[in-house]
């Protein structure tokens, strides 16, 4: 197969014809043929028709994934259920299209997945610790396209983001994709805020400029504008004609005129990337299962729904902490709502968003509802009372009889 070709596992003309009219495709009619062709070269995209009798869709996907972990796949099915769709998304399937699919819907899915695949080259060279970058939705694909452009341009970069984003992992990716042997130096601004340490800061910066290819300023936004301008002026005058690239992160309100000639890259918040949650969750669960010696294989639908509806004010760091705590608390190999440390806040948000009663009725009923939810999950009136910080007698009175 050629790099830009699409392999289609189907014998349905309604699947083959629309794609063939727009792209170069190869058609496989058996499981063995799919495995042979993808084993030689996975091409740009694999389309699996789950209605084919020769192989089950997810089983074939797992087999292909073992040979090429980064292959992009679209699945089509006339019978797929919600649990199967959730499982497919968790495993990393790029899209699931229900048959009979309209031609424009199928072509749109193929187009989107091919464009996402173009942005994966950088991501695939990322490091452990960047699990929050997993996924292939529009937001993360856009981030990587902007990142690829900034790397090629060689500009200084300011990542505009909310709190809870690991900008250092982005700096590592830039280093890894900027050529062999690139040295990244991290300078934390915070320890140098005292006036007595200013001379030490300039010594550290001077040494970094001589010895580094890339400098990442941790907590650069806490410096005042005058200090930022002084740092940038110094770098421009001493950085060997711009050889040293500078990277920093800041919230939108903190991005001042001092960054005018920097490449500004917006980093999406977790709440904007709900389509990427299955891949992120799988990566976090695998990471902390290994770290804590656990055998956690999946996440329950109740926990998945709550995670999907929660706003995550603490962003990716909050999600990562919640999953690590859940993995440590997990006893039966599956993370449920009970193990999630942010479960109470999720439940409150779910109730609030679904609430149609007036405010007075809501205030009257919210405690009763929370007591019953906690009791159902924990089986203990004492624990429900402790979680809500109310007397046990009040928790008992609020339980549904």
**pLDDT tens-digit readout, 149-172:** 888 888 889 999 998 899 999 998
213 vs 136 pLDDT, higher one: 213
- Percent of the chain at pLDDT above 90? 12
Q: Which has the minimum average pLDDT: 4-8, 167-171, 280-284?
A: 4-8
Describe the crossing of helices 138-153 and 103-118 by its angle, rounded to 10 degrees.
40
Q: Which has the minimum average pLDDT: 112-116, 128-132, 168-172, 237-241?
A: 237-241
How many angstroms separate the CA atoms of 118 and 280, rounded? 20
Instruction: Report CA-CA distances (Å) from 234 to 95, 154, 220, 244, 311.
Output: 49, 18, 15, 12, 41
Q: How many C-alpha atoms does 255 have within 13 Å on its Cβ side?
A: 19
The number of beta carbons lying within 10 Å of the beta carbon of residue 248 is 25
Architecture of domain 272-398: Orthogonal Bundle (1.10)
pLDDT-derived band at 122 (thresholds 50, 70, 90) equals: low
Q: Judge contact between 310 and 349, C-beta under 8 A.
A: yes
Q: Report domain extents, the chain.
A: 6-118, 131-268, 272-398
Q: Is the pLDDT score of 356 beyond 50?
A: no
The three-class DSSP label of residue 294 is coil
pLDDT-derived band at 344 (thresholds 50, 70, 90) equals: low
Tokens linked to 346: 């999720």
- Residue in the block written with tokens 């699945």: 75
pTM over 0.75: no
Q: What is the rounded average pLDDT of the residues 195-206?
A: 86
- Residue in the block written with tokens 């939810």: 373
How many angstroms separate the CA atoms of 308 and 276, rounded? 10
pLDDT-derived band at 357 (thresholds 50, 70, 90) equals: very low
pLDDT-derived band at 331 (thresholds 50, 70, 90) equals: confident
Q: What is the pLDDT of residue 152?
A: 83
pLDDT-derived band at 264 (thresholds 50, 70, 90) equals: very high
Q: What is the rounded average pLDDT of the residues 335-359?
A: 59
CATH says 131-268 is which class?
Answer: alpha beta
| The listed CATH number (3.40.50.300, 3.40.30.10, 3.40.50.2300, 3.40.1030.10) that belongs to domain 6-118 | 3.40.50.2300
Q: Is the pLDDT score of 291 beyond 80?
A: yes
Q: What is the pLDDT of residue 358?
A: 47
Cis peptide before 79 (omega within 30 of 0): no
Q: Is the pLDDT score of 249 beyond 50?
A: yes
The three-class DSSP label of residue 46 is strand
What's the chain's average pLDDT?
A: 79
């Amino acid at each position: 197969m050629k790099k830009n070709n699409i392999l289609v596992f189907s014998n349905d003309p309604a699947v083959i014809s629309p794609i063939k009219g727009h792209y170069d495709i190869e058609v496989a009619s058996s499981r063995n043929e799919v495995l042979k062709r993808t084993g030689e070269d996975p091409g740009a995209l694999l389309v699996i028709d789950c209605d084919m009798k020769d192989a089950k869709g997810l089983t074939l996907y797992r087999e292909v994934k073992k040979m090429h972990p980064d292959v992009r796949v679209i699945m089509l099915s006339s019978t797929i259920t919600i649990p199967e769709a959730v499982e497919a998304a968790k495993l990393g399937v790029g899209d699931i299209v229900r048959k009979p699919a309209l031609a424009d819907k199928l072509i749109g899915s193929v187009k989107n997945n091919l464009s996402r695949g173009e942005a994966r080259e950088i991501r695939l060279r990322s490091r452990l610790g960047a699990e929050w970058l997993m996924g292939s939705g529009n937001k993360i694909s856009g981030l990587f396209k902007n990142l690829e452009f900034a790397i090629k341009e060689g500009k200084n970069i300011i990542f505009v983001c909310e709190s809870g984003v690991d900008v250092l992992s982005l700096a590592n990716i830039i280093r890894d994709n900027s050529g062999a042997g690139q040295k990244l130096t991290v300078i934390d601004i915070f320890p140098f805020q005292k006036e007595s340490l200013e001379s030490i800061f300039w010594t550290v910066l001077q040494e970094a400029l001589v010895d580094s290819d890339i400098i990442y300023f941790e907590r650069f936004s806490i410096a005042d504008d005058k200090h930022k301008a002084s740092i940038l002026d110094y770098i421009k005058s001493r950085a060997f004609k711009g050889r040293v690239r500078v990277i920093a992160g800041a919230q939108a309100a903190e991005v001042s005129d001092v960054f005018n000639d920097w490449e500004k890259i917006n980093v999406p918040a977790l709440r904007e990337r709900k389509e990427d949650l299955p891949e992120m969750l799988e990566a976090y669960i695998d990471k902390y299962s290994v770290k804590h010696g656990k055998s956690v294989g999946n996440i329950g639908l109740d926990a998945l729904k709550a995670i999907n509806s929660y706003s995550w004010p603490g962003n990716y760091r909050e999600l990562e902490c919640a999953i690590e705590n859940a993995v440590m608390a997990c006893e039966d190999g599956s993370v449920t709502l009970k193990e999630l440390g942010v479960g109470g806040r999720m439940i409150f948000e779910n109730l609030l968003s679904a609430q149609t009663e007036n405010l007075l009725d809501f205030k009257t009923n919210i405690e009763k509802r929370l007591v019953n939810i906690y009791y159902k999950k924990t089986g203990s009136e004492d624990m429900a009372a402790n979680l809500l910080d109310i007397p046990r007698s009040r928790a008992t009175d609020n339980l549904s009889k």
